[in-house]
């Protein structure tokens, strides 16, 4: 692998344990040495009529042994923002902030193409806004409530 850096694209699919949502996130990827950076925008292809999910994320992957082998292990960290608009009987808007880290592996399919998976866990917070005056739908700000999250991802990368 050259040390000049490579540009590529990735199709990431994942399941978020907090939102119980399947997401697809096309991403732009930059690989230099043992480090890989990703910037992506995501959506839920199975959105219900009363709910919309949109996301943006930044990921960093570190390959301790490089990515030139058939099987490559890596460490991953991710910062994700997810907008969840619920238009049910009591409409509410949630904006989540996730910070996750984990590990994964990928398989080299052919020169420049990789198929991989990872598992991440971390923390999240959210803000909520609603026009409903009921106490259970009161608006909350970021860091008023926090929690832990588990996230699974499958990806297909291609470098030019």
Q: What is the CATH number of the domain that holds 79?
A: 2.40.160.20
Residue 18 lies in a domain: yes
CB 72 within 8 A of CB 95: no
pLDDT of residue 154: 97
Structural domain including 88 reads 6-159
Q: Count the neighbouring beta carbons within 10 Å of the beta carbon of residue 126.
A: 21
CA distance 27 to 158: 11
Residue 1 lies in a domain: no
**47 is written with which tokens?**
């959105």
User: What are 49-92's pLDDT values in tens digits?
Assistant: 777 889 999 999 999 999 889 999 999 999 999 998 888 777 88
Domain tally, the chain: 1
CA distance 138 to 96: 16
Whole-prediction pTM value? Answer: 0.88
CA distance 11 to 46: 16
Residue 98 lies in a domain: yes
Q: Which residues of the chain have pLDDT under 50?
A: 1-2
């Amino acid at each position: 692998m050259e040390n000049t850096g490579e540009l590529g694209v990735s199709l990431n699919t994942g399941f978020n344990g907090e939102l119980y949502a399947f997401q697809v996130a096309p991403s732009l990827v930059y690989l230099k040495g043992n480090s890989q950076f990703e910037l992506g925008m995501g959506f839920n292809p199975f959105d219900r009529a009363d709910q919309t999910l949109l996301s943006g994320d930044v990921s960093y992957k570190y390959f301790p042994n490089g990515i030139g082998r058939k099987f490559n292990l890596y460490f991953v960290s991710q910062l994700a923002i997810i907008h969840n608009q619920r238009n049910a009987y009591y409409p509410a808007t949630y904006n989540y902030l996730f910070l996750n880290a984990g590990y994964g592996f990928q398989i080299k399919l052919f020169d420049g193409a990789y198929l991989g998976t990872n598992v991440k866990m971390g923390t999240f917070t959210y803000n909520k806004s609603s026009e409903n005056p009921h106490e259970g739908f009161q608006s909350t700000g970021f860091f008023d409530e926090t929690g832990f999250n588990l996230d699974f991802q499958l990806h297909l990368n291609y470098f030019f």
